[in-house]
């Protein structure tokens, strides 16, 4: 008998076979197994274990203990707006805010980043003159 046939025969008797502690087989309830099926299971145990392990879903890793978790990629500890390190002493309120995209911003930088950009921009006469000069050059090239 193949491993699949043995498992199907056990299932028809209402017996579930599973692997525990590496390569040990557990039959529940074992009292329903016939002597012939028991002998087949013993004879084909490595094949049955390999078949069951191949069918099993992958085990999730055990989460690390609190305080030892290192995310991948690492969480930034520098403000994404002003590039100054964000330090939060233990037991205090957070000095920074995490945005939806994962950026870390100081509370002041977060407030500046959420304002309307046209409302608090200083006058830029030098930039305006440079843009006018570039536009004039483009107009001359077209003509």
Q: How do residues 91-128 score in pLDDT, each as one tens digit?
A: 555 567 777 776 777 777 877 776 655 555 566 778 88
- Average pLDDT of the residues in 31-52: 88
Please state the pTM of the whole predicted model. Answer: 0.40
Tokens (6 digits) for 6: 């043995």
- Average pLDDT of the residues in 31-47: 88
Between the CA of residue 26 and those of 20, 52, 102, what are the distances in Å? 7, 12, 46
pLDDT for 134 equals: 92
Q: Are 88 and 94 in contact (CB under 8 A)?
A: yes
Distance of CA 128 to the CA centre of its chain: 47
């Amino acid at each position: 008998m193949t491993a699949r046939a043995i498992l199907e025969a056990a299932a028809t008797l209402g017996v579930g076979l599973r692997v525990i502690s590496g390569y040990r087989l557990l039959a529940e309830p074992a009292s329903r197994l016939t002597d012939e099926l028991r002998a087949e299971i013993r004879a084909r145990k490595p094949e049955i274990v390999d078949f069951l392990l191949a069918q099993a879903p992958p085990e999730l890793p055990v989460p690390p203990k609190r305080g030892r978790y290192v995310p991948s990629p690492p969480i930034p500890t520098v403000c994404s707006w002003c590039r100054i390190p964000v330090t939060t002493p233990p037991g205090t309120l957070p000095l920074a805010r995490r945005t939806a995209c994962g950026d870390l911003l100081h509370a002041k930088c977060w407030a500046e980043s959420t304002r309307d950009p046209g409302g608090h921009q200083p006058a830029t006469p030098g930039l305006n003159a440079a843009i006018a000069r570039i536009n004039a050059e483009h107009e001359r090239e077209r003509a």
